[in-house]
Structure 1
Amino acid sequence: MWVRTASERDLQEINRLLVTTWHDTYDGIYGVDKVNEITGTWHAVPVLKQRLTQPNSEFVVVDTGEKICAMAFASTQDGKLIDLHQLYVLPEVQGQGAGGQLLDEIKVCFPEAKRIRLEVEETNQKAVAFYERKGFVETGRTANCGEPGSGLPALIFELALD
């Protein structure tokens, strides 16, 4: 497995990864219909395509040589704080190091950064445990995870960087 920059030719596969991962993680939390609605808007190929050229951002994937098994998207406004918008790993690959590889790459991509911030659904215990193992600490809560007005509550986690 290696990390590389996402490209336009990857977008359909990244979309499938996100849909699969979201259904695996969130069907029991939000219900299938809500997950379909979210993945149909937040993870649509045109939305993903815009991220490829977003200034001050990184869109990376973990590639096995046969498939993309994980992805991450992060951005910064000031170079000091990284907002980790997405980090998803296919269910069958979780626990094999892909998530850690993505976090390491994001840190390298923003060398001036002092902190990483992210939002995570409180009941997504796998993700909460993963981020806590990586040194993230809870710093707050939001009523609108992902985008303004989403109505999806989440924890806010941060990691101080050396």
Structure 2
Amino acid sequence: MFAIRRATQEDIDLIRRLAREAFPATYRELLTPEQLDYMMAWMYAPEVLRRELDEGFAWFIASADGEPCGYLSVERQESALFHLQKIYVLPRFQGCGAGAFLFRCAVEYIRSVHSGPCRMELNVNRRNRALGFYFRMGMRRLREGDFPIGGGYYMNDYIMGLDIS
């Protein structure tokens, strides 16, 4: 049984612990160890998470039978545009519906804060095996790009979109 709750500043250590397991497992075959380390520090440093929570990013933590199993964050970028910044499931919970649960929770959150039609977008590495998952969840590929993130590294992504009514 899955449950979800909104994360707070008190959850920063938990988010970091979940990310240390989920993020490298997702990207170890796609990125160098150096880029993985760089991206972990860039995205999951305590001050980064604190700033995002202060600035209104909606962070959520999912649990399966009481055990944390994944997380997501959503950023409102424009009036009717939201960005699914993060959606990760711990490896041992993949394949049992946790990802779909998190995805649906992101959509439900967006509907709760925006009453009209809008779009949810996300960036996904062009070689990420989660691409099939996003297509199954109803997303479509909008565009692609190579985005510099500092340190000489790039995110080579598709930008996927889901129209929400």
If the length of structure 2 is used for normalisation, what is the TM-score? Answer: 0.86
1:12-161 equivalences in 2 (<5 Å): 12-55=13-56, 57-64=57-64, 66-111=66-111, 112=114, 113-125=117-129, 127-144=130-147, 147=149, 150-161=153-164
Deviation at 1:52, TM superposition (A): 1.7
Identity over aligned residues, as a percent? 24
Deviation per residue, 1:99-153 (Å, 9 max, x gap): 222222222222225211000001111x1011011010111002117x5785221
Structure 2 residues not aligned, in runs of 5+: none
SS at the partner of 2:28? Answer: helix
For 2:145 and 2:153, locate their aligned partners in 1 and report how far apart those are by CA, in whole Å.
10
Structure 1 residues 16-25 or 107-116, which shifts more? 107-116
Structure 1 residues not aligned, in runs of 5+: none
> Which one has a larger percent strand, Structure 1 or Structure 2?
2
1:1-16 equivalences in 2 (<5 Å): 1-16=2-17
Deviation per residue, 1:41-94 (Å, 9 max, x gap): 211122112222223x31111023543211111111333111111111101101
Structure 1 residues 106-115 or 33-42, which shifts more? 106-115
If the length of structure 1 is used for normalisation, what is the TM-score? Answer: 0.88
